[in-house]
Structure 1
């Protein structure tokens, strides 16, 4: 089983999909990493060579913030917003999306707020 960034990648999955198991790597970033490492996206994790695994590990560790480092950065950003009393921090704490949807509450959260 290939271990990259502290995550065991599932052996039977395609590499393109398996990389998305790492926090901070989505479909687009996985495709970019595989293209840069010159690895076929349709290859199964169990069929990767040691050289390919090493290339993937090096690229991810050197150029991308993933797992613990990314989680720490996100939590520090939210903490910073909370300390300055920003509206976004209040909305995130209240269960709203932190994206650009006008900070509207998530449907299940809205139902909970409406109940008497």
Structure 2
């Protein structure tokens, strides 16, 4: 099992797909890394040599912000917004959607499960 950027990537998948298991690498960056290192798209991780895995690891370390560093950077950015007290920071602080989505209905992912309100009648009951 190949370990890149602190993540065990699956061995039986294509390299381009397996690289996406690393936080911060999506389809475009995975293809870009494969092209830089010179690995064909249909190659599987278990067919890679140790030298190729090392090349991939060095390319990612040198050119991309991934995993722990990326998570830390995002957390610092959110904390900065919250400390500043701007609108986006307040939405983060209250656990509500940040990017203008409606909250009258939906937004359950951010708000959590619905809390019942005392005295509110359920539709369809008499």
What interval of TM-score do these two structures reach, taking the shorter chain for normalisation?
0.7 to 0.9
Do the aligned partners of residues 2 and 112 (structure 1) sit closer, same or farther apart at CA in structure 2, a change above 3 Å counting?
A: closer
Match in the other structure for 1:7: 7
Higher-RCO chain (CA-CA 8 Å, sequence separation at least 6): 1
Give ranges in structure 1 of 5+ residues lacking alignment: none
RMSD over equivalenced CA pairs, Å = 2.1
Structure having the larger proportion of residues in helix: 1
Match in the other structure for 1:72: 72
Larger Rg: 2
TM-score by length of 1: 0.85
Distance in 2 (alpha carbons) for counterparts of 1:111 and 1:5: 32
Match in the other structure for 2:97: 96
CA contact (8 A) 1:16 1:34 kept: yes
Distance in 2 (alpha carbons) for counterparts of 1:36 and 1:14: 16
Do the aligned partners of residues 74 and 110 (structure 1) sit closer, same or farther apart at CA in structure 2, a change above 3 Å counting?
A: closer
TM-score by length of 2: 0.79
Give ranges in structure 2 of 5+ residues lacking alignment: 118-126
